[in-house]
Amino acid sequence: MEEFERPYKKVSALKAVVLFLFRRKAFEAMAVKHDTAWILSGSPDLRKRFLNGEYTPDQESTRDNVEKRTTAILKSLRASGLLVLLSALGAGALGWYLHRVVGVLPSWLNTLLQSLGAGCILWATIWELGWNVRSFGGESLPERVHYWIFRTLCVFGTFLFFLAFSWAA
């Protein structure tokens, strides 16, 4: 393994996640090295030109791309967390209200709500992990529909799960 490949082939997942969450600039510097090594490792022609001194990676462009992707991922992480929190709070409020008005949640309904909630979340997760049709930066209509359905399944599943817990309490 060449020295320039090390940031790509010997990356520490724990270090990357900690830097991503708590030290953004250090993460971005690590990501620039990683992406540069990834590009060179995946292209035999570029790699040969680089080793012969005929090619220098565009660090500025790589840095700009890393910053944009990091910002987008952090924004998505925060928005997803807020969505889960709002779903849980809404379900908690409804569960509290139902407990006061209807009474104790029957055991069979508790099991059903939890099962449906977990099922929706797992269905969405497995669908997302197995989805490999990506193009146009996520802006094509099929990609947008995928995003909308995925989010709806996750929010609905989370809502049902927290409704069961809050109503039973």
Residue 69 in any domain: the answer is no
Q: Are residues 78 and 126 in the same domain?
A: yes
Q: How many CA atoms lie within 13 A of 6 on its CB side?
A: 3
Q: Are residues 83 and 48 in the same domain?
A: no
Residue 65 in any domain: the answer is no
- Structural domain tally of the chain? 2
Q: Are residues 41 and 115 in the same domain?
A: no
Residue 64 in any domain: the answer is no
Q: What is the pLDDT of residue 40?
A: 84
Average pLDDT over residues 85-113: 96
Q: Are residues 122 and 164 in the same domain?
A: yes
Residue 81 in any domain: the answer is yes
* Residue-wise pLDDT tens digits, 120-142: 999 999 988 876 766 666 677 87
Residue 66 in any domain: the answer is no
Q: What is the pLDDT of residue 1?
A: 59
Residue 31 in any domain: the answer is yes
Domain encompassing residue 164: 74-168
* Residue-wise pLDDT tens digits, 24-82: 999 999 999 888 888 888 888 888 888 888 888 888 999 999 999 999 999 999 999 99
